[in-house]
Structure 1
Amino acid sequence: MKRSDWSLSTSSLAHYCRFYIHMKKYGYLLLFLTTAFACQNTSNDKQQQVEIPEQQDSIGEHIQTDSLSASPKEIITTAEVDSIIDGRILMPTTYRVWENEVVSKVINKNWLELHHKNGSYHVQSVSYHIENEDEEPCSGLPTETIVPKEDVLVFFDIPSIQKGAVDSVAFKNKIIEPGKPFEFTYKNQKYKLQATGILFHKDQERNNPNARYTLKLYKDGTYLRTIIDQTAYNDTSTELEFIGDLDKDGLPDFIFSSPRDYEERRMIIILSASPYAYDGNVQFDC
């Protein structure tokens, strides 16, 4: 072999070795990059699995307001009538005068009244006068009596109630007994009041102060809300006094007489748009 051929072969071999070494390095690098990329994709897949959970039906987790305007698909929460706003209702009756409780200082020209006249109900500014008595025979306390000009059912200081004629529903029976639901139509919608609990016409139950009476409201067969849930009846009963649209939202509102004791007078206003009842009561025990 010629020396020049040997030199060429040696040079070619050296070149080949250097090429092999570089390719080996690049091969490792390529293998490393490929592995890293695969790991990253796997990590991203796992991360996506964590960040995107399986969709579930969450209707039962929604918190809904207790309103007559709620959709039938919503889960309606029950607000007992004991969840009340007190001090917003007065009645045309006699109030005892205590040190810090003077009814003539509570009612004023900003209050409204619901009265019945010529076969219909109206909400208007209060029209009344106060009659005083120095000493009530039963309690020995002085009294103030709110005497209205019209046939007033209740006085109230509730901003959402609007003045004017009230579209109301006529009914015959004030007491809604368990097993005898009361159905009525308002604004072409069918409603039902259904009671469970004691029977008020039975004396042995009527005198039970621990008896329970619950009244639920339904619209087109769908439960809307519990409007009465009372657990104290001492010779008393819950009686429906009024159905009509007091707040002008197109939905029925209710007024009940629902004393807990025979020596109490108590009125409850339940508005369609309010989750709370408005309570007004007066004691006349001896």
Structure 2
Amino acid sequence: MLIVRNAASGTAVMRSDPAATFAERLPEAVVHELAEEEDLADVVTAAMESDAPPAVLGIYGGDGSVSRMAHLARRHDRPLLAMPGGTFNHFVRALGIADVGIALDALGAGSTASVGVVEATADDDEPVTVLNVVSVGAYPELIGERERRSSLGKWLGGVAATWSALRRTEPLTIVLDGRRARVWSVFVSVGRNDPDRVATMQRQEADASVLDVRIHHARGSRVRALASLAFGKRSAAVLRAVRLFPRDADIERRVVRDLDLRVIPQPGRPSVFVHDGELEERDPAGFRLRCRALPDALQVFAPR
């Protein structure tokens, strides 16, 4: 077994070091600490090409790290051992994995779940594996602003990014099914999601055979555009109560198996999208984004 730890994940929360747990419960596993400039794919490829390739690929990190390892597990036809080591851990929480111990109990029992994923392809690039959500518009811009302020720390950087987004965020144009629309954001969730949310970042089901698409049409203010990014039930309820949440008439929902979208940002605005918290920059003139639901595409150790 190969377990990769991403020490950079979850810096916004206090987490105990799992090293002692790995040593006690998985004494023969190879545990690799991912260096700052090290590529996860290189680490896994080297292990798979060794004299003793691992039968299981494990990852301790946040949603971005888990998503990248899931892609490699699919590529090498290996089951995934996913352990929560990030800030939100949306994917593992959807499978009932609240801590490292639960994941290791499932491993010991040989208990796996067959999980659906989405393949997202930007222009003619290789597709990437998505476990939670793909998004264009206000959320990727907010993530980009936060990354540019990373020296302030995650919390202060997030506050500064939100303030900047309140002043600068602009709608973008999408072309879908031959029709153009000005929108604040598009969220493409893996599997069906809470119908009351716009930002469907918290995955709701393991067996995902569809995309749950939320399109926030640009008929309201920047404040509503940012308010739509609330993904917690309590936050959304408070924003609805004070009438800052987007109106229902401004949100279009589609449940489909695949999506073919043309994204055209305004001149001078970022041309970006986000998948599982990972920011991708594209051509300033815009890009094509295709998403396809793949049920039963990944085996993950999880409680029954």
> How does the TM-score come out when normalised to structure 2?
0.20
Bigger proportion of residues as helix = 2
Which structure is larger by alpha-carbon Rg, 1 or 2?
A: 1
> How does the TM-score come out when normalised to structure 1?
0.21
The structure showing larger relative contact order (alpha-carbon pairs under 8 Å, at least 6 residues apart) is: 2
